[in-house]
């Protein structure tokens, strides 16, 4: 099996981490992987904010999600934003296009993290506290929060998710 497919099949959300730090080089690899995702008109609408080994800030951010029990023990959090200066009220569908591009960027990050032996979890539940996240991260109001990604070395305590068989999801093949 080629290495991309192997990463796709073996990656799982990781919600329990060892205290080991994530290196700056590895974080840069994740961000570069995200940056090379495809995007509508190559607009690259993603922006990133990294919180690494900053226990105080990670604790504050974790208090903004129901998942605080494990998020507070994560060595690194990466917030992903959509730069709203690329939006246009006359073309609301652009939001959909940009958010799809950001989904691709996030998936690139998750797969490269897996390849590096790192675990990640895509945290969407925190979006309800977008304003507070922006404030803690000291980023502009022009940035729409899309997700926070936890990153760290897996402690091995996670349960592996399953999938429906692909045959249940193919709705037509003509």
Ligand X SMILES: Cc1cc2nc3c(=O)[nH]c(=O)nc-3n(C[C@H](O)[C@H](O)[C@H](O)COP(=O)(O)O)c2cc1C
Spell out the residues 6+ positions from residue 12 whose beta carbon is closer than 8 angstroms to its own.
119, 158, 160, 161
What strand order describes the sheet that includes 46-52? 46-52, 76-83, 143-152, 119-123
CB atoms within 10 A of CB 96: 10
Q: Contact with ligand X (CB under 6 A): which of 88, 125, 131, 135?
A: 125
Q: Contact with ligand X (CB under 6 A): which of 3, 93, 161, 167?
A: 161
Residue whose Cβ sits closest to ligand X: 124
Contact pattern for ligand X over residues 105 through 124, marking x by CB under 6 A: ----------------xxxx
CB neighbour class for 13 (10 Å; exposed up to 12, middle 13-18, buried from 19): middle
Q: Contact with ligand X (CB under 6 A): which of 13, 52, 84, 100?
A: 13
Q: How far is the CB of 48 from ligand X (least distance, A)?
A: 17
User: Does residue 167 interact with ligand X by CB under 6 A?
Assistant: no
3-state helix, strand, coil in the chain (%, to 5): 45, 20, 35
User: Does residue 155 interact with ligand X by CB under 6 A?
Assistant: no
User: Does residue 68 interact with ligand X by CB under 6 A?
Assistant: no
- Length of the chain in terms of residues written: 174
Q: Euclidean distance between the first and final Cα of the chain, in Å?
A: 28
User: Does residue 67 interact with ligand X by CB under 6 A?
Assistant: yes
Nearer to ligand X, 1 or 66 (CB): 66
* Residues contributing to the site for ligand X (CB under 6 A): 12-13, 15, 67, 121-125, 161
């Amino acid at each position: 099996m080629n290495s991309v497919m192997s990463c796709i099949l073996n990656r799982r959300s990781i919600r329990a981490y060892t205290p080991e730090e994530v290196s700056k080089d590895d974080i840069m690899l994740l961000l570069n992987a995200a940056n090379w995702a495809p995007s509508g008109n190559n607009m690259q609408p993603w922006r990133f904010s990294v919180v690494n080994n900053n226990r105080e800030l990670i604790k504050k951010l974790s208090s903004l999600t129901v998942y605080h029990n494990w998020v507070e023990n994560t060595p690194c959090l990466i917030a992903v934003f959509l730069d709203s200066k690329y939006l246009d009220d006359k073309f609301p569908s652009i939001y959909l296009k940009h958010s799809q591009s950001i989904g691709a960027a996030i998936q690139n990050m998750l797969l490269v993290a897996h390849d590096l032996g790192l675990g990640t979890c895509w945290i969407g539940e925190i979006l309800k506290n977008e304003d507070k996240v922006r404030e803690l991260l000291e980023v502009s109001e022009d940035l729409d929060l899309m997700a926070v990604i936890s990153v760290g070395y897996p402690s091995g305590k996670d349960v592996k998710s399953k999938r429906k068989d692909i045959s249940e999801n193919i709705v037509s093949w003509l």
